[in-house]
Structure 1
Amino acid sequence: MPRPKYALTAYDPDAEYDDNWALCADAENLFGDPPAPPRGTYELIGCAPGGELDKALARARADGSAPLGLLTLEILDKNGGRVEEWSLADVRVLGDRPCARDLSLRDITVEAREPLHNPFDYPQCPPLSPGYRLLGAEDEPWGSCRDLAHVPDGRPDLVEPPVRLLGCAPRGALRTALDAGEEDLGHAKLVRLDTAGHAVQTAVEGELVAWIPSARGRGLVDLALEPWSDRPPTAAEQVWELWDGGRPTEPGLWARCTTEGRHHWLTTALGRHEAHRPDAEPGGTYHLDGRHIVDEPGFFCALGEAVNGPGGYFGWGLDALADCLCGRRGARRPFTLVWHDAEVARTCLGLVPRTDHRPWTFEELLAFLVDEGIDVRLA
């Protein structure tokens, strides 16, 4: 059997990686990037438009449609107080008509997408609520509406194929279930292995739904796994290849990855962090290699490496970094951080146009570190 890339284990959050059901030579249909948030059509019912919404509506009447940007619906209680916010991004106003409930108001049709950070799928007003207060990107007032309706587009949901696990050597409970001809093969998780057979990261979790004899060798089977967890992004494949020999010993390998790959590098580094290793003594000095910090995840990849060596982890966002500074992640404040080639980050960070959340700028990251008691020296 060729070197297995994956191990299949029983789905048990507390199970050890080496308590496996099968070693698998490879997998198909494993990686999958989430689709871009779809654009939908919405009706702002019983709307009294104001501000930029009113101006965009006038342009839409003249030109057929008009861009508006981010629109926030502030959900109101029965007394007109704020309950929660829900947003539509990249809004384009398509038109309007008189509201059937109140001819002094308008029903406004817009096209937009739902940002990923919305707190729930659809905004629900509490009983006796007057509806929503409409706000712009800087909380400027854009009027109000009494209700919101999502106009279905009639498109069917995309169905993803199951993950195919190829050349699997079953053992334990899975071997017993296959020999007995059982239809229920159980719930499992798939784990990526390095060349030494050690776990790199959990890839996906789901239900085993079918099997066939494998063309890859006598006694081997190909299994079909229906995921219930998100599939790893395509960028994970490159990250896992860079970790194929175990935790990296060469610095800067993360710089070969795209921005999405660097995000995944951070989750891999977190999973492989030695939680019980004692922290270094406070007051030390760490050197941050800034040559490749051209995006926000690159900063955290470089910081993890500066503190804990190649493949090290020291936060993947500012909240996580603040937790790391309290200890048990390799270092505790206070310490000195020498940021080499800082001009790269000063030039590159925070330049992505704001859609949902703008990345942190160099100045903002620097201010955060200083506020947290880190002595930052730019080199």
Structure 2
Amino acid sequence: MRRPKYALTAYDADAEDDEIWALCVDAEDLFGDPPAPARGTYELLGCVPEGELGKALLRARADGSAPLGTLVLEILDKDAERVETWSLEDVRVLGDRPCARDLSLRDLTVEARESSHNPFDYPQCPPLSPGYRLLGAEDEPWGGCRDLAHVLDPQPDLLEPPVRLLGCSPRGALRTALDAGEEDLGHAKLIRLDTTGAPVQSAVEGELLAWIPSARGPGLVDLTLEPWSDRPPTAAEEVWKLWDDGRPAEPGLWARCGAEGRRHWLMTALERRETGRPDAEPGGTYHLDGRHIVDEPGFFCALGEAVNGPGGYFGWGLDALNECLRGRWGARRPFTLVWHDAETARACLGLVPRIDRRPWTFEELLAFLADKGVDVRLA
């Protein structure tokens, strides 16, 4: 039997040590990148367009459509005071027509995607509300509208295939269930293993639906798992290969990964971090290798390595970094961070265009660290 890449364990949210149900040689249809954010068509009803929204409408009338960017809808109460905000991103104005309720107003049609940061699925104004105040991403006034309508897309959601676990050697409760011919095989968690059989990272959780004898050897079975958790991204495979021999001993391996791989590296490092190890004493000095810091994930990969060694973790975003700086994650402030080859980050950070959230710039990161008691010295 080939080296198993995965262990299938009983899913028990309260158990400290999961019971191993099977070791599996491989898996098919495991990885799944989230689909691109869906774009929809929306109508701004009873609209008075101003500012950039008005300009975009004029361009749309001349050219057929016009880009606008982020449109913030400020939900108003009966006194025209803000209740909450709800945003559309990557907005494109498609056209307009007279408002049927009030011919002095316009109904605008736009194409956009909903912001992932919206507090709820769809905005709803309270009773007696005049509607929405329309703003740009920097709170520039763009007018107002009385209502918002979503033109529903009739296209059905695409179904993902279940995960197939190949060449599995069942044991324990799963072996008992298979021998008894039970249809309900239970809920399970799939874990990626390194070459020594130690866990690298949880891959997916779900329900075991079926099994068949495996062509990979006598006594082995192929199992069908229907996930209820998110599948790991395709970039996880390149990260897991770099962790195949256990926690990396060589620095900088994360730099071999693409942008999505660097993001997943941080999640792997978080899951495999050493717990219970005391923090280093305050006043220490850590050296940040900045040669490959070309984006935010790269900064946090390098920072985790600077503080806790290759494969180390010290935050995956600013909120997580702020938590790490409070202690119990390897270092206690104040401390000194020597940032080598800092010009790479100065030239790259914060400059990649984003619609939903602009990445932090090099200068903003320096200001954040200084405010948290980290003395950054550029080298």
TM-score, with structure 1 as normaliser: 0.97
How far did residue 18 of structure 1 move?
5.4
Partners of 1:66 and 1:10 lie apart in 2 by: 53
Percent identical residues: 84
The answer for the alignment partner of 1:309 in structure 2 is 309
Q: How does 1:144-223 map to 2 (within 5 A)?
A: 144-223=144-223
Contact in 2 for aligned 1:17/1:191 (Cα 8 Å): no
CA deviation vs aligned residue, 1:235-280 (integer Å, no higher than 9, x gap): 1001111011111111111111111111111111111111200011
The answer for the alignment partner of 1:267 in structure 2 is 267
Partners of 1:213 and 1:130 lie apart in 2 by: 65
Contact in 1 for aligned 2:92/2:112 (Cα 8 Å): yes
Contact in 1 for aligned 2:10/2:18 (Cα 8 Å): no
The 3-state SS of whatever aligns with 2:312 is coil
The 3-state SS of whatever aligns with 2:358 is coil
Deviates more, 1:175-184 or 1:22-31: 175-184
The answer for the alignment partner of 2:254 in structure 1 is 254
Q: Does 1:74 align with 2:69?
A: no
The 3-state SS of whatever aligns with 1:301 is helix
The answer for the alignment partner of 2:318 in structure 1 is 318
How far did residue 40 of structure 1 move?
1.1
Partners of 1:7 and 1:126 lie apart in 2 by: 51
How far did residue 116 of structure 1 move?
1.8
Amino acid at match of 1:158: L
The 3-state SS of whatever aligns with 1:264 is helix
The 3-state SS of whatever aligns with 2:287 is strand
The answer for the alignment partner of 1:352 in structure 2 is 352
How far did residue 129 of structure 1 move?
1.9
CA deviation vs aligned residue, 1:188-225 (integer Å, no higher than 9, x gap): 11111111111111001111111111111111111111
Partners of 2:17 and 2:123 lie apart in 1 by: 41
Q: Does 1:367 align with 2:367?
A: yes
| Number of residue pairs the alignment of both structures matches | 379
Amino acid at match of 2:49: P
The answer for the alignment partner of 1:237 in structure 2 is 237
The answer for the alignment partner of 2:289 in structure 1 is 289
Contact in 2 for aligned 1:338/1:376 (Cα 8 Å): yes
Contact in 1 for aligned 2:11/2:18 (Cα 8 Å): no
Partners of 2:146 and 2:160 lie apart in 1 by: 38
How far did residue 16 of structure 1 move?
4.3
How far did residue 78 of structure 1 move?
2.0
The answer for the alignment partner of 2:331 in structure 1 is 331
The answer for the alignment partner of 2:228 in structure 1 is 228
Partners of 2:124 and 2:182 lie apart in 1 by: 45
Q: How does 1:19-30 map to 2 (within 5 A)?
A: 19-30=19-30
The 3-state SS of whatever aligns with 2:238 is helix
CA deviation vs aligned residue, 1:92-128 (integer Å, no higher than 9, x gap): 1111112222222211111111222222221122222
Contact in 1 for aligned 2:130/2:146 (Cα 8 Å): yes
Partners of 2:189 and 2:172 lie apart in 1 by: 15
Partners of 1:256 and 1:62 lie apart in 2 by: 47
Partners of 2:324 and 2:357 lie apart in 1 by: 23
The 3-state SS of whatever aligns with 2:283 is coil
Q: Does 1:139 align with 2:100?
A: no
Partners of 2:140 and 2:21 lie apart in 1 by: 58
How far did residue 58 of structure 1 move?
1.9
How far did residue 154 of structure 1 move?
1.5
The answer for the alignment partner of 1:120 in structure 2 is 120
Amino acid at match of 1:307: V
CA deviation vs aligned residue, 1:68-102 (integer Å, no higher than 9, x gap): 11111111122211111111111111111122222
Contact in 2 for aligned 1:213/1:220 (Cα 8 Å): yes
The answer for the alignment partner of 1:108 in structure 2 is 108
The 3-state SS of whatever aligns with 1:366 is helix
How far did residue 17 of structure 1 move?
5.2
The 3-state SS of whatever aligns with 2:330 is coil
Contact in 1 for aligned 2:12/2:18 (Cα 8 Å): no
The answer for the alignment partner of 1:96 in structure 2 is 96
Partners of 1:322 and 1:16 lie apart in 2 by: 28
Partners of 2:336 and 2:165 lie apart in 1 by: 48
Amino acid at match of 1:147: D
Partners of 1:203 and 1:354 lie apart in 2 by: 28
Structure 2 residue runs without a partner (length 5+): none
Partners of 1:75 and 1:120 lie apart in 2 by: 12
The 3-state SS of whatever aligns with 2:68 is strand
The 3-state SS of whatever aligns with 1:358 is coil
How far did residue 281 of structure 1 move?
0.8
The 3-state SS of whatever aligns with 1:178 is helix
How far did residue 153 of structure 1 move?
2.3
The answer for the alignment partner of 1:8 in structure 2 is 8
Partners of 2:301 and 2:61 lie apart in 1 by: 49
Q: Does 1:340 align with 2:337?
A: no
Partners of 1:354 and 1:292 lie apart in 2 by: 20
- Over the aligned positions, Cα root-mean-square deviation in angstroms equals 1.2
The answer for the alignment partner of 2:87 in structure 1 is 87
TM-score, with structure 2 as normaliser: 0.97
Deviates more, 1:155-164 or 1:103-112: 103-112
